[in-house]
Amino acid sequence: MTVSNPLLDFSGLPRFDVIFPAHVQPVITQLLDDNRALVERLADDPRPASWGSFAAPLADGIERLSRAWGIVGHLHSVNDVPDWRNAYNQMLPEVSRFYAELGQNLKLFAKYKAILEGAEYPTLSPARRKIIDNEVRDFRLSGAELPEDKKPRFQAIQEELAALAAKFSENLLDATNAFAEIVTDEAELSGLPADVIEAAREAAEKDNKAGWKFTLHMPSYWPVLQFADSRRLREALYHASATRAAEFGPSELDNTPLIRRILELRQEEARMLGYRNFAEVSLAPKMAESVEQVLGFLRDLAKKARPFAEKDVAELRDFARRELHLETLEAWDMGYASEKLREKRYAFSEQDVKPYFTEPKVLAGLFHVIESLYGMRIKPDSAPVWHEDVRFFRIENADGELVGQFYLDPYARETKRGGAWMDEAISRRRLASGMQKPVAYLACNFPRPVGEKDGKPRPATFSHSDVETLFHEAGHGLHHLLTRVEELGVSGIHGVEWDAVELPSQFMENYCWDWDVLRRMSGHVDTGEALPRELFDKMLAARNFQSGMQTVRQIEFALFDMLLHSEFNPHDSREKHSAPGVLDLLRAVREEVAVTFPPAWNRFPNSFSHIFAGGYAAGYYSYKWAEVLSADSYAAFEEAGNPFDPGVSQRFLDEIIAVGGARPALESFRAFRGRDPQVDALLRHSGMIAN
């Protein structure tokens, strides 16, 4: 390896135009060797540990590895072709082993503890003190205090868990891509929006097939479930989606044994660390103080939401029976019947709104909100990218100074994992050469532009739900990009408790319901006309449509996750081709909180990548927990009578966004709101208490 390897160039932005899979192994191997040498030198340094002699140089070395590996992981997510998958998986065990070794190094742990207990600690900045506190906590959670003869097993657990998470995600993507429904009877397209039909036609044409191709990727899948009059087509796609990566398909793509093994390893890890279960390990660095507190929070919210959910489902069943002649409302009918009821009750459909939200107008509207809230300016910028769809932007402050930059990868692709996410490319920190400016990735899976108008490609159009998703991920991005913290360990989203990290993202969704914002960022794809006020009023009236059902659905996921990692014993489930224990637990959770029940063959856990391939294990409750924080935060603007109130905006920036993880999230919330969070705003915004 030489310095010509672009993965080793940390002088600026990633060089995506010249980074290839062959670059991965030599660079990551070299960086691992460099870091091991650095760790050995720092660990054996006889001088008393200090920030300058120990903590800072260790952070410098590890950042080089994390930046290079971050690029590899990002490309694995957005360009999951065989060469990138192989390159990622080849080095994943080695990287996992290094971090496991790092977390168990008693010499490093002793040096952090020495700083914590030494005379220098009180003189450090609050951000540096928080980093030291976090490091000591994380060393304990990483097995640093385990007996030496136990550490190899703990390391092996970390390596295997990392490999299992990657495999879970790959299986889900491969199973998603393996299915396609080719429709040749045009009558089966009845009810589908024109742009969805056109996209399906183009997809079939690309495969040299006649007719229309529908897949399990969300831009294709969800419109079928929501709008297709063909019950057969809805059922076909639902069944394929609900049984993905399970025992019904190829055994090599079955996530069932992975689920069981992941749960076994997490339980073993927890017991080794002295905890009763993995949920306690997960909660150690979070806002929530105990499993009991989380379960109480979820069950209390379920108790408040369930009467509304029961009313929602009773109305839906009655409507489906009377108007749609569906005596039994099946899982594949729920989205369709709900859309028909929404249209009947509010004379409003998502498809009425979608033509008004063209991609250029939505982006301009998002940028206007950011500029109005924080006084920033967002401008197009240039950088090497990994796909022609990707765009790049810069954020400047009022003085024209660069604050940060971000990539936007908006459309679904077969080589891109599902969902939407924000990730860091570069984090803000102060270097000897000056300030390192943050860079973020924003990735979504929106429908691509289809068709032409006047000989030019038509812009992509977004549903209002898509718009909310974009604002949500932008909120995460702003948390990363607008930080003022200069220390890597607590800059931006670093060090923020997991159950508070959704606050800035969910907060931004509120602006998708402001009339002035929507009017400004709308323009009909054919006429350019702004969203009519009458249509907005219908949207607003329908905003909390079935909010009870939606709330208990999220609680179902969160309660299942928390009980799975606190009370469930994975060793009780040993069947070769199924995990009935997991499904039994899910069924029990549904009996407690749910108002709708899917078919027995539904294998939801096999695609629950948030907890099996993401960072949400025993943490899915964070969405609702942070929703309380975000709703209460936005209520401050409502109380001021202006969603862009300068004083409240400045305080939100200063006390929530800019401080990153430099202090506990509850302290940041109190600094902004002047009190502890209250659930009332969430219930009010969800239409579950009187305004």
Structure tokens at 270: 């927890």
Buried b (16+ CB within 10 A) or exposed e, 271-300: ebbebebbbbbbbeebbbeebeebbebbee
Question: What's the CA gap between 134 and 128, in Å, rounded?
Answer: 10
Report yes or no: 570 and 267 within 8 Å, Cβ to Cβ: yes
Work out the end-to-end distance of the chain between its first and last CA atoms, rounded to an integer number of angstroms.
64
Structure tokens at 579: 């995990």
Tell me, yes or no, if the two domains 252-348+546-620 and 354-541 fold the same way: yes
pLDDT of residue 222: 96
Mean pLDDT by 10 residues, the chain (691 residues): 79 96 97 97 96 96 96 97 96 95 94 97 97 96 94 95 96 96 97 95 96 96 97 98 97 97 97 97 96 97 96 97 96 98 91 95 98 97 97 97 98 93 97 95 94 85 96 98 97 95 96 96 95 95 94 98 95 54 95 97 97 95 95 97 98 98 96 95 84 45
- Those residues whose C-beta lies under 8 Å from the C-beta of residue 584, and which sit 6 or more positions away, are none
Would the pTM count as exceeding 0.95? no
pLDDT of residue 573: 54
Structure tokens at 234: 């809805």
Buried b (16+ CB within 10 A) or exposed e, 194-227: ebbbebbbebbeeeeeebbbbbbbbbbbbbbbbb
Structure tokens at 406: 């971000």
Q: Are strands 439-446 and 456-457 parallel, antiparallel or unpaired?
A: unpaired
Report yes or no: 287 and 497 within 8 Å, Cβ to Cβ: yes
Question: What's the CA gap between 177 and 221, in Å, rounded?
Answer: 12
Q: Does domain 6-145 correspond to CATH entry 1.20.1050.40?
A: yes
Hey, which residues does 392 pair with through a beta bridge?
Answer: 407
Question: What's the CA gap between 426 and 438, in Å, rounded?
Answer: 5
Report yes or no: 103 and 138 within 8 Å, Cβ to Cβ: yes
Q: How crowded is the C-beta side of 571, counted as CA atoms within 13 Å?
A: 4
- Those residues whose C-beta lies under 8 Å from the C-beta of residue 363, and which sit 6 or more positions away, are 408
**Which runs of consecutive H residues, i.e. helices, occur in 284-429?**
291-323, 334-346, 350-353, 359-374
Pick from 332, 337, 166, 169: nearest CA to 240: 332
Active site residues: 473
pLDDT of residue 2: 44
3-state secondary structure of 100: helix
Q: Does domain 252-348+546-620 correspond to CATH entry 1.10.1370.10?
A: yes
Domain ranges of the chain: 6-145, 179-243, 252-348+546-620, 354-541
* Tokens 């024209």, located at residue: 400
CATH topology of domain 354-541: Neurolysin; domain 3 (1.10.1370)
CA 197 from chain centre, in angstroms, equals 29
CB count within 10 Å of CB 526 equals 10
Hey, which residues does 170 pair with through a beta bridge?
Answer: none
pLDDT of residue 342: 94
φ, ψ dihedrals at 183, nearest 5°: -100, 125
